[in-house]
Structure 1
């Protein structure tokens, strides 16, 4: 018979369709709480805890200078676990029922400016060879599609349809979506595929983006690539694939795209997620309004 943890793991994987990374993070948090509970309350079974014990763990984490964001993530894991136990009737009362998340400061992502993108494209205007051509395509693909880093890394050869100018990506919870490719970068795809064909002994042949050794790209490689490129044109502290995704959304909204369209392109399940990106477009709108309104002349 499966343990509650094993059943929870299957539930996250099969019903919720969470990624392996997310499932592992949830289970890791539960194991951490088990360890804490055993050490402080001499209790092996966390199925029978009360909120006071959970609260003690929160206090312990805060005392260890764990950030509120990280604490909230651990509590979200516990909340999901006990909600599951309630659902399968393993407990009668959810100990997390009245829990409230710790307050966290709002972090506003600062996108790259349009000028920074123009400056970068001028610097890498004429890439030569497999790696330069691949790297420029990666930057352009992030900026023109808003795709996530994991979506780009896991993009498959069979899901790139240049004849229809679309790519199919696998997003969060294994949700597929189609993203249009701008005509301006189709030639870059052709150039990359031509160079890719010259790579010998491709190990991970199903993946679209590979290294010169024929291997699937790693998340750390893609992060370093974006950071390195944008360090040439930007003084911003954070320079990452996610900032490029944020830039994609902000520039679309600044240039008149509607929120629902941006939501679909980003693969968000709700408008609330997309509205995070409206801060900077609102600032731009205020600037236009202030400069244009007759009463402000």
Structure 2
């Protein structure tokens, strides 16, 4: 009952996505089963920090990564904060619980020369498909939007007069991204070819040949195909292009807060990882360039 009440709160008051709500449900049921195995007298409302710490060890022994365990702990923190507000508990059992430390990998990104090669020198397919695929790569690089945001883009979200794109991001939060003349020209050319090719005028900005909205796997495949022509990175995904956008902005002296707003990050901490990326690049340049490095 408490779990259902909490999930309804996330759905109707916090406007969380169904995917996120399902993850919270799995985490809470998993903990509930674990504490029942420990003792029939234990419940979600009377469990203590020691049991939760034991659960963390149990998860790590089962092969869960530090990232997965910390994500589950995040679900619990939200749940127990909800119970505190509802006065279902008087103390938060997870308050003093510390999750396992995880090593943060630096974002993978393309160098400016590589992204220019992909856009200007590699071959795309003929006709509408080729123009669309190149437009997708350019859109990712020029705006830093997420895969889900690109797929969800509609014609009405593009304001050519004011050179702005309205993006609907996580939890339906909206933000505006400005664009320059080069992207404006590319979008205009793409729309011209798209509207000549598709008989029924679509509302979705990016579409298949039959006018239907694109899906994630299709976009991921075409991005991987084009990136593979130039780079040998292990990861070749739309998110790499998002990282490339952020790194390029930072390297060209963009304000970190401005990059945060453009990316749609909830906190500055998520954006600050790019400062480490550019510092690593700086170290590599120093080692190559300085005679006594």
TM-score by length of 1: 0.88
Choose the corresponding residue for 1:70, options 68, 74, 88. Answer: 68
Choose the corresponding residue for 1:123, options 121, 125, 146. Answer: 121
> Could you tell me how far 1:195 is from its partner in structure 2?
3.2
Determine if the alignment matches structure 1 residue 282 to structure 2 residue 279.
Answer: yes
Determine if the alignment matches structure 1 residue 217 to structure 2 residue 209.
Answer: no
RMSD across aligned positions (CA): 2.5
Task: Tell me if the contact between 1:127 and 1:136 (Cα under 8 Å) persists in the aligned partners.
Answer: no
- SS, match of residue 198 in structure 2: coil
Q: Which consecutive unaligned segments of at least 5 residues does structure 2 have?
A: none
Go from structure 1 to structure 2 and tell me whether the alpha carbon gap of 1:290 and 1:108 turns closer, same or farther (over 3 Å shift): closer
- SS, match of residue 175 in structure 2: strand
Q: Which residue of 2 aligns with 1:229?
A: 226
> Could you tell me how far 1:286 is from its partner in structure 2?
5.9
Counterpart mapping for 1:1-297 below 5 A: 3-42=1-40, 45-124=43-122, 128-197=126-195, 198-200=197-199, 205-284=202-281
Go from structure 1 to structure 2 and tell me whether the alpha carbon gap of 1:176 and 1:279 turns closer, same or farther (over 3 Å shift): same
Go from structure 1 to structure 2 and tell me whether the alpha carbon gap of 1:257 and 1:237 turns closer, same or farther (over 3 Å shift): same
Aligned length: 290
Inter-partner Cα distance in structure 2 for 1:195 and 1:228: 22
Task: Tell me if the contact between 1:167 and 1:181 (Cα under 8 Å) persists in the aligned partners.
Answer: yes
> Could you tell me how far 1:215 is from its partner in structure 2?
2.4
> Could you tell me how far 1:137 is from its partner in structure 2?
0.7
Go from structure 1 to structure 2 and tell me whether the alpha carbon gap of 1:221 and 1:42 turns closer, same or farther (over 3 Å shift): farther
Deviation digits for residues 118-167 of structure 1, max 9, x if unmatched?
A: 22123346763222111111110110111111111111221111222211
- SS, match of residue 169 in structure 1: strand
> Could you tell me how far 1:246 is from its partner in structure 2?
1.0
Inter-partner Cα distance in structure 1 for 2:26 and 2:206: 31
- SS, match of residue 167 in structure 1: strand
Inter-partner Cα distance in structure 1 for 2:137 and 2:289: 35
TM-score by length of 2: 0.89
